[in-house]
């Protein structure tokens, strides 16, 4: 096609695919180009603006490492990661939510009722619940990969003073799908702002904060893996998560418990003298 115009460029693009092109690849790429072309027409994008966009991508590429992926962060703050989560979640199952960049593979196994906080100080929180199917039946022996920030607002991979496995643990629920562990409250924190994503947030007048949360990846044979987070109902950033990860069903409550009432049977039993908080949260998994 030698007479390409602003109105025909998307169709011309689609006509360049070969007949052997994978149909799903063609569908996705043709739609992507259509929307990108429409975006350029709609805003009347200038050369200068497009160059700035490309420079931001180049910067993102330069600072991306195995530990810090600026493209994933861009997808997160643009709402793309959350939108992909939402349109792929199963009705009735616990919502999925962003994985984030701070998950560490091969977390150490953690016994039922074990403690995640180690030597860190803070108000003790007991988190417990059940993993169930969509009919409410227990899923025996589901595996829960759990991680969170330390009280200083840093994940282990961001903090040279923490062991890489601090605040990371892998728990197997019992035959009734019951899981339980103790920890300290995670805190609200900011996404990294020293790259192009920080500049974009800044230019948009947006803050970089996420509400505090506990991360979970839950796996069980025959069920879809669930990557999610749970958020306390009293967090000031609950309604303005900069990566759009909060869903109504992922909100939990810290229920305050008086001193002297911490139960037996936990790794911390006998050591919790002051008040503590309890969180009850059940997860529902969809079948594959």
Instruction: Choose the one of ligand BEZ, Fe ion, none that binds residue 73, judging by a C-beta under 5 to 8 angstroms depending on kind.
Output: ligand BEZ
Q: How far from the centroid of its chain's Cα atoms is residue 84's Cα? A: 12
Which residue in 13, 102, 216, 283 binds ligand BEZ (CB under 6 A)? 102
Q: Is residue 139 close enough to count as binding ligand BEZ by CB under 6 A? A: no
Q: Is residue 100 close enough to count as binding ligand BEZ by CB under 6 A? A: yes
Return the number of the residue (30 or 243) whose C-beta is nearest ligand BEZ. 243
Spell out the residues 6+ positions from residue 51 whose beta carbon is closer than 8 angstroms to its own.
none
Which of these segments, 27-35, 72-80, 96-104, 232-240, binds Fe ion (CB under 5 A)?
A: 96-104
CB 177 within 8 A of CB 192: no
Instruction: Choose the one of Fe ion, ligand BEZ, none that binds residue 243, judging by a C-beta under 5 to 8 angstroms depending on kind.
Output: ligand BEZ
Instruction: Choose the one of ligand BEZ, Fe ion, none that binds residue 101, judging by a C-beta under 5 to 8 angstroms depending on kind.
Output: ligand BEZ
Q: Is residue 191 close enough to count as binding ligand BEZ by CB under 6 A? A: yes
Which residue in 101, 198, 263, 275 binds ligand BEZ (CB under 6 A)? 101
Which residue in 70, 73, 96, 100 binds Fe ion (CB under 5 A)? 100
- The contact pattern for ligand BEZ, residues 215-244, with x = CB under 6 A and - = no contact, is ----------------------------x-
Q: Is residue 76 close enough to count as binding ligand BEZ by CB under 6 A? A: yes
Which of these segments, 7-15, 96-104, 193-201, 261-269, binds ligand BEZ (CB under 6 A)?
A: 96-104
Return the number of the residue (13 or 155) whose C-beta is nearest Fe ion. 155
Q: 């991508």: which residue's tokens? A: 57
Shortest Cβ 250–ligand BEZ spacing (Å):
12
Return the number of the residue (73 or 217) whose C-beta is nearest ligand BEZ. 73
CB 170 within 8 A of CB 179: no
Shortest Cβ 187–ligand BEZ spacing (Å):
12
Site residues (CB under 6 A) for ligand BEZ?
73, 76, 98, 100-102, 191, 210, 243
């Amino acid at each position: 096609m030698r007479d390409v115009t602003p109105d025909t460029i998307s169709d011309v693009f689609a006509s360049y695919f070969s007949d052997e092109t994978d149909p799903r690849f063609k569908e996705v790429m043709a739609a992507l180009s259509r929307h990108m072309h429409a975006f350029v027409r709609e805003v009347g994008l200038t050369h200068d603006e497009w160059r700035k966009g490309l420079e931001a991508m180049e910067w993102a590429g330069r600072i991306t490492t195995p530990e810090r992926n600026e493209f994933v962060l861009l997808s997160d703050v643009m709402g793309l990661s959350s939108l992909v989560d939402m349109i792929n979640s199963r009705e009735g199952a616990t919502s999925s939510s962003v994985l984030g960049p701070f998950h560490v593979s091969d977390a150490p196994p953690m016994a039922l009722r074990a403690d995640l906080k180690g030597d860190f100080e803070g108000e003790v929180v007991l988190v417990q619940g059940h993993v169930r199917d969509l009919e409410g039946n227990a899923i025996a022996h589901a595996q829960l990969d759990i991680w969170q920030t330390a009280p200083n607002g840093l994940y282990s991979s961001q903090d040279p003073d923490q062991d890489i496995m601090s605040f990371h643990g892998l728990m197997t629920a019992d035959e009734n799908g019951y899981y339980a562990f103790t920890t300290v409250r995670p805190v609200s924190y900011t996404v990294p702002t020293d790259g192009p994503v920080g500049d974009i947030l800044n230019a948009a007048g947006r803050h970089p904060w996420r509400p505090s949360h506990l991360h979970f990846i839950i796996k069980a044979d025959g069920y879809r893996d669930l990557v999610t987070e749970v958020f306390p109902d009293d967090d000031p950033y609950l309604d303005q998560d900069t990566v759009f990860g909060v869903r109504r069903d992922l909100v939990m409550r810290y229920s305050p418990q008086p001193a002297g009432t911490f139960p037996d049977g936990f790794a911390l039993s006998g050591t919790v003298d002051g008040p503590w908080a309890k969180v009850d949260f059940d997860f529902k998994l969809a079948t594959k």
